[in-house]
Structure 1
Amino acid sequence: MGGLTITVITSKASSLNYGETIGNVSVLKKLSRGDGSQLTFVSDKALKYEIRRKGKEEKGWKLLDEKLKEYIEGNLKGSELDVDAFGKALVKDYHEFDLFGGLFTNLKTDKKVKLSYGDSVKRTCPVKVTYAFSVSEFSGDLNFLNNIDAYNRYIKHVEDKPEQAIANSEEHQSHYIYTLAVDLNRAGGWEKEDGSYEDVLSKEEKAKRVLDLLDIVMTLSRQIKGRWESLSPVFVVGGVFSSKHPFFMEGVEAQEEKGKLRLNVARLRECAELVPEQNKVVVGVLSGTFINESELRNAFSVKTIKEAFEELKKQVREYYGVSQV
């Protein structure tokens, strides 16, 4: 039994997740706290979307697509779908289904398909991601937008629009904090109807998928409204532990001061004391990010971001019992 957990503070990024548009105002996703302040956030769905995108672009991940119909037809026994055979085939061939799970109901080919058991095909995701919450508070900043240049050059000549478009969008720049946890036992396997667990992938392929995930997180980015925003870590803490628990989800607290961050080192140290294997706690920092970096280095054995991720990857290899992948 084992789990990988990491908590990340991202690079400073701008306006990462918009919700519903009200009138001509694009509204950021926000959460109000008890003191009346507001934090902006990036939903877990948005983070997973960017992870899957980079997985496909950079690691060759296969994402769920229309070919699932072929997998249904290939695992039919008469008019009944063999749920276990179907699920194992998806785990083997689709990185998205293996790591992020899925739920299928009312499956059909030419007609509705009966299942060998249950009323749906479902997989609990081995990779869980929290919302990414901003470090700094939202202050209600707005950006006034118009398309006057494009309107004058071509829009008024080809579209039935008598005037330019005017819009406003909420803006917020901040570092963000989120946690990612991976159930290393569940990745690359399939849980059958009776609750038993069957390996689908080799230990080498299991390790590779988790290592690819760490590579993606190390250089994660967000594409939004024609912009690239970096979500690469300026701070990361975590490790592979015998207890499957997001130990540092409540342990990483920071505040912005004069363009830098101040980390609550005492809180982080207390959370680290809860970890069964304290010697495996990995801390990585981008130099110059924190005002109290010396305090952090006195409390922990601090690595660079690159070194921290290499150590995390080493722990994953050791867990699966593979040398190189």
Structure 2
Amino acid sequence: MGGITLTIITHKASSLNYGETVGNVSILKKVTLGDGTQKTFVSDKALKYDMRRKGKEEKGWKLLDELLKEYIEKSQKDGKLDVDEFGRNLVENYEEFDLFGGLFTNLKDKKNKEVSLSYGDSVKRVCAVKVTYAFSVSDFKGDMNFLNNIDAYNRYIKHIEGKKAQAIAQTEEHTSHYVYTITIDLDRVGVWEKEDGTREPILDPQKRAKRVKDLLDIVMTLNRQIKGRWENLSPVFVVGGLFGTKHPFFMNAVDASEMNGRLFLQIDRLRDAIDMVPENERSKVKIGMLSGIFINEEDIKSKLQAKSIGELFRELKQEVDNYYGVSEG
């Protein structure tokens, strides 16, 4: 048994996830804490969307699409959809389904006729990769941005759309580092779980390792595209590792605050979290840091033996190969 958990502080990024629009004002997603302060957040759905996007663009991942109809057709036996056959096909052919799971109800064939299932009332897969919300390090202070399209309006919009006035809008704005946790159940990747709970390997170890390493590459260079902007969500700090105990050890244990444009990391809190890792696995804890970000950088290096972000991910990918019993590649 084994799993990866990583808790990450991202680069500074601006206005990453909007929710409801009230009138002409775009509202950022945020939560209010017990002391009355507010933190903006990026939902797990938004983070996974950009992970899948990068997987398709950079790693050739196949995302769930209309071709599912073909898998429904070829997985039918005796007038029913063979759930296990259907699940095996999706795990093998769709990285999205394998890593991030899925739920299908009311499945229909090419003739739009509802399909009966060999068991259960749905086809479901528990996600092997789980992602938390990413919460801002700094507090939200209610900053706003006034927007208009006066340049485009004067040049062409009023001529081709016949509008009599420019468009006015406002958006809430917040720039901050963000903290989130990602966990990967290595035993579920490339495996189909049957109704009785038994697991059937679908991919060979080399392909299982590749899918996990591709995901780690994506996390290391994660970014978000929103409202015409690129925002960098790659890590400036990472703590985690590959452990036999599947647990997000460092969720809520990475406490950083911003001071004069740089971060200060609470080292003692993190060391207490490291002490909760089983003693025989404590040496597997890895810490990576980007230079020049933290005020107490020297303390982090000396007390936590922090290494570079790139070195941490290279070591972790090697451990993934070792876990699946394959050579590096």
Distance 2:321 2:305 in 1: 21
Report the 3-state secondary structure (helix = DSSP H, G, I; strand = E; otherwise coil) of the residue aligned with 2:27: strand
**What's the TM-score, normalizing by structure 2?**
0.98
**Counterpart of 2:29?**
29
- Determine if the alignment matches structure 1 residue 284 to structure 2 residue 293: no
Q: What is the CA distance between 1:157 and its match in structure 2?
A: 0.6
- Determine if the alignment matches structure 1 residue 294 to structure 2 residue 298: yes
Q: What is the CA distance between 1:322 and its match in structure 2?
A: 1.3
Distance 2:319 2:148 in 1: 51
Show CA shifts across 1:117-145 (max 9, x none): 00000000000000000000000000000
**Counterpart of 1:199?**
201
- Determine if the alignment matches structure 1 residue 221 to structure 2 residue 226: no
Q: What is the CA distance between 1:314 and its match in structure 2?
A: 1.5
Show CA shifts across 1:296-317 (max 9, x none): 1121221101001111111211
**Counterpart of 1:167?**
169
Letter in 2 for 1:86: F
Q: What is the CA distance between 1:160 and its match in structure 2?
A: 2.9
Distance 2:199 2:222 in 1: 32
% same residue? 68
Distance 2:236 2:302 in 1: 18
Tell me if the contact between 1:91 and 1:190 (Cα under 8 Å) persists in the aligned partners.
yes
**Counterpart of 2:91?**
91
Letter in 1 for 2:81: L
- Determine if the alignment matches structure 1 residue 47 to structure 2 residue 47: yes
Report the 3-state secondary structure (helix = DSSP H, G, I; strand = E; otherwise coil) of the residue aligned with 1:106: coil
**Counterpart of 1:18?**
18
Q: Count residues with an aligned counterpart.
A: 325
Letter in 1 for 2:2: G
Q: What is the CA distance between 1:78 and its match in structure 2?
A: 2.8
**Counterpart of 2:327?**
323
**Counterpart of 1:306?**
310
Tell me if the contact between 2:3 and 2:245 (Cα under 8 Å) persists in the aligned partners.
yes
Deviates more, 1:270-279 or 1:176-185: 270-279
Report the 3-state secondary structure (helix = DSSP H, G, I; strand = E; otherwise coil) of the residue aligned with 2:288: strand
Report the 3-state secondary structure (helix = DSSP H, G, I; strand = E; otherwise coil) of the residue aligned with 1:302: coil
Q: How does 1:90-239 map to 2 (within 5 A)?
A: 90-109=90-109, 110=111, 111-239=113-241
**Counterpart of 1:76?**
76
Report the 3-state secondary structure (helix = DSSP H, G, I; strand = E; otherwise coil) of the residue aligned with 1:303: coil
Show CA shifts across 1:68-119 (max 9, x none): 0000000101320000000010000000000000000000112110000000
Letter in 1 for 2:51: I
Distance 1:218 1:51 in 2: 11
Which of 252, 255, 276 is 2:254 aligned to? 252
Distance 1:71 1:78 in 2: 15
Report the 3-state secondary structure (helix = DSSP H, G, I; strand = E; otherwise coil) of the residue aligned with 1:319: helix
- Superposed CA RMSD: 0.7
Distance 1:315 1:279 in 2: 13
Q: What is the CA distance between 1:319 and its match in structure 2?
A: 1.2
Q: What is the CA distance between 1:248 and its match in structure 2?
A: 0.5
Show CA shifts across 1:159-215 (max 9, x none): 131100111000000000000000000111011011111101111111100000000
Distance 2:200 2:77 in 1: 21
Deviates more, 1:312-321 or 1:252-261: 312-321
Letter in 1 for 2:7: T
Distance 1:237 1:323 in 2: 25
Tell me if the contact between 1:235 and 1:285 (Cα under 8 Å) persists in the aligned partners.
yes
Tell me if the contact between 2:146 and 2:170 (Cα under 8 Å) persists in the aligned partners.
yes
Tell me if the contact between 1:6 and 1:180 (Cα under 8 Å) persists in the aligned partners.
yes
Report the 3-state secondary structure (helix = DSSP H, G, I; strand = E; otherwise coil) of the residue aligned with 2:152: helix
Tell me if the contact between 2:301 and 2:307 (Cα under 8 Å) persists in the aligned partners.
no
Letter in 2 for 1:282: K
Report the 3-state secondary structure (helix = DSSP H, G, I; strand = E; otherwise coil) of the residue aligned with 2:139: coil
Tell me if the contact between 2:318 and 2:328 (Cα under 8 Å) persists in the aligned partners.
no
Tell me if the contact between 2:14 and 2:176 (Cα under 8 Å) persists in the aligned partners.
yes
Distance 2:318 2:263 in 1: 29
Tell me if the contact between 1:239 and 1:315 (Cα under 8 Å) persists in the aligned partners.
no
Tell me if the contact between 1:99 and 1:126 (Cα under 8 Å) persists in the aligned partners.
yes
Distance 2:51 2:62 in 1: 13
